[in-house]
Amino acid sequence: MEIRGHHLLCMLGFIGLGYNEKFILNMDKIIKKLNNKHNMWIKLVDNVDNICAACPNNINEECKIDSFPGSVKERDRAVLKVLGIEVGEVVRYRDIVNKISERMTEEKMMNICKDCEWFGLGYCLEGLKKLKGG
Ligand code: SF4
């Protein structure tokens, strides 16, 4: 499975919201699968991934939101940099979750995600707090 860097944070706060029904069902399925298979190997990417596969913003295998300043790719790379993971690296899901818990802070997440349309809802940050045991 391939997951783009910033989606690691989106998955923490997923409460069943998304761009449309197809997107929500796909994201829900991926999260449930990963939660049941902590040993699964994940390739961390900065381009369209298994979540983007069902997204209406995925046009010809590019995220159309990518055209805005502070692009989605930059957000992916910023998340992976905090976690100490290279773009293209393959890591077990449980090790990724441990790295998020150890290395991602609320402040860092705010800096990376503050311009995202979903961040203001607060669920993503709540997800990080929960993971870190707060
Ligand atoms: S295509 Fe863009 S908006 Fe859609 S899931 Fe992927 S990164 Fe998010």
- Residue-wise pLDDT for 24-83, tens only, equals 999 999 999 999 999 999 999 999 999 999 999 999 999 988 655 568 999 999 999 999
Chain segment 32-41, per-residue pLDDT in tens: 999 999 999 9
Domain count, the chain: 1
- CA distance linking residue 58 with residue 84, whole number of Å: 27
> Of 19, 57, 73, which is best to mutate to test ligand 1, by the most ligand atoms within 8 angstroms of its C-beta?
57
**Residue 66 alpha carbon to ligand 1 centre in Å:** 9
Residue 11 Cα distances to 31, 69, 97, 127, 131, angstroms? 7, 23, 11, 8, 11
* Residue at 133 is within a domain: no
Task: Tell which one of 7, 23, 55 to mutate to probe ligand 1, the residue whose CB is within 8 A of the most ligand atoms.
Answer: 55
Residue 49's domain comprises: 2-126
Classify strands 2-4 and 41-45 as parallel, antiparallel or unpaired: parallel
Residue 23: inside a domain: yes
Which residue(s) pair with 45 in the sheet? 4
Instruction: Classify residue 110: in a domain, yes or no.
Output: yes
